[in-house]
Amino acid sequence: MTTNTPSNDAFAIDLPAVQMHVAKPDQPIIGKVVRSELCTLGGKKSAGIVRHVEIDISGTLMAGSFRAGQSFGIVTPGLDKNGKPHKVRLYSIASPTGGEDGSGNILATTVKRVHHELDEDHTLYDGVASNHICDRQIGDELRITGPNGKRFLLPARPAQHDYLFIATGTGVAPFRGMVRELLDSGIDRNVTLLMGSPYESDLLYHEDFVKLAQEHERFTYVTAISRQTVDGRPKEYVDGALNRIADNIKPSLLSGDLLVYVCGIAGMELGVLRTIATMLESDPEALAGYIDCDAETLADRDSWDRRMIHRAVKPTRRVFLEVY
Ligand SMILES: Cc1cc2nc3c(=O)[nH]c(=O)nc-3n(C[C@H](O)[C@H](O)[C@H](O)COP(=O)(O)OP(=O)(O)OC[C@H]3O[C@@H](n4cnc5c(N)ncnc54)[C@H](O)[C@@H]3O)c2cc1C
């Protein structure tokens, strides 16, 4: 996993204080599944299986302890192939800070079932924790740790910024919570969510985001479909879609008001940073607010690779990365 490791403090953003590790792996709290449903646009026809799962944690140490953008851990019962307890797997909280109920008693997450064919004998390996969560029925228990994370958060003073959230797959989970929190707060700021998926049927919470965009003038919802042509638009990744909406985003980048959040498949951040670099190439001062890199590296951006991020290509504190 890569999280934000900012290059310097010049563009530091005040973040709220958070609680962490209230429930530790040796003493997880017990939550109860209260809702579990597919959240792909295509439902059962979608290529991937992704479920929206809500968990009641009322009466536990973790009730009211989390903020949007944090994650929590799942302790799966049983032992791994070495006879050791399964390692904790992390899942993003998909709820606003107040949870689904407004009081921090019900948290949601967005879980993709992991399946993987083993090369040697073609047998199917099922991911341990993702399938454990998705197999639970209403009323079943889950062992939960956390909360985790202190950087991938909304700022302490949200009304001072505009927001660009860029997600692939279940990377949209924290943004479901953050977007709702910002829109519910009534701030008069631009909020853009750019969601990428291979097929339109794999889009997550699509109908909810379309509805939010209809209800909130300053919320823009954009999709990038990479393996299918939709409405005559060519196939594109999130960086292509970002380039498509560059004119809408650029004023906020130039003023430095924009906070950029990227969450999802490891590697997606490269194209996003490259596109921002291209958008701000003619304004080095504005670019320095988002990416710290020298002129030679900037000119050679077509050959950037992931290993350069946080080294030669350093996102500033206005860029929040969580890729896994
Ligand atoms: C901060 C953070 C937030 C996250 N948020 C989310 C989220 O909101 N939603 C979400 O779905 N995921 C999220 N993840 C990913 C999640 O933590 C898990 O990594 C993911 O669900 C897979 O876990 P699993 O136990 O199902 O699979 P695992 O059992 O861990 O297996 C994962 C893969 O490892 C390989 N593998 C493991 N064991 C073997 C073996 N014995 N033989 C061969 N191959 C093997 C396989 O390729 C398999 O596909 C997040 C991760 C991080 C770090």
Position 324 scores a pLDDT of: 94
183 lines ligand 1 (CB under 6 A): no
Of 40, 54, 71, best ligand 1 pocket probe by most atoms within 8 Å of the beta carbon: 71
Å from CA of 90 to ligand 1 middle? 8
Position 8 scores a pLDDT of: 58
Secondary element (H or E) of residue 259: strand 258-264
Å from CA of 290 to ligand 1 middle? 30
* Measured distance CA(92)–CA(239) in Å, rounded: 23
Residue whose CA is at the smallest distance from ligand 1 atom 39? 125
Å from CA of 278 to ligand 1 middle? 33
Q: Which atom of ligand 1 is least distant from the CA of 170?
A: 9
DSSP label at residue 168: E
DSSP label at residue 82: T
Two tokens at 256? 């430095």
116 lines ligand 1 (CB under 6 A): yes
Position 1 scores a pLDDT of: 59
pLDDT in 10s for each residue of the chain, 324 residues: 555 544 557 899 999 999 999 999 999 999 999 999 999 998 888 889 999 999 999 999 999 999 999 999 999 999 999 999 999 999 999 999 999 999 999 999 999 999 988 777 888 999 999 999 999 999 999 999 999 999 999 999 999 999 999 999 999 999 999 999 999 999 999 999 999 999 999 999 999 999 999 999 999 999 999 999 998 999 999 999 999 999 999 999 999 999 999 999 999 999 999 999 999 999 999 999 999 999 999 999 999 999 999 999 999 999 999 999
Give this prediction's pTM: 0.95
Å from CA of 318 to ligand 1 middle? 28
* Measured distance CA(153)–CA(174) in Å, rounded: 9
Of 2, 130, 144, best ligand 1 pocket probe by most atoms within 8 Å of the beta carbon: 130
**Which string of b and e fits 203-227 if b means at least 16 CB within 10 Å?**
bbbbeebeebbeebeebbbbbbbbe
Two tokens at 121? 């004998």
* Measured distance CA(237)–CA(218) in Å, rounded: 23
Q: Which atom of ligand 1 is least distant from the CA of 131?
A: 26
81 lines ligand 1 (CB under 6 A): yes
60 lines ligand 1 (CB under 6 A): no
Å from CA of 130 to ligand 1 middle? 7
Position 30 scores a pLDDT of: 98
First CA to last CA distance, the chain: 4
Q: Which domains does the chain have, with CATH numbers?
A: 2-15+151-323 (3.40.50.80), 29-148 (2.40.30.10)
Two tokens at 259? 């906070």
Contacts for 13 with CB less than 8 Å, ≥ 6 apart: 155, 161, 259, 317, 318
Of 87, 114, 176, best ligand 1 pocket probe by most atoms within 8 Å of the beta carbon: 114
Residue whose CA is at the smallest distance from ligand 1 atom 13? 91
By DSSP bridging, strand 71-75 and strand 50-56 are unpaired
Å from CA of 302 to ligand 1 middle? 30
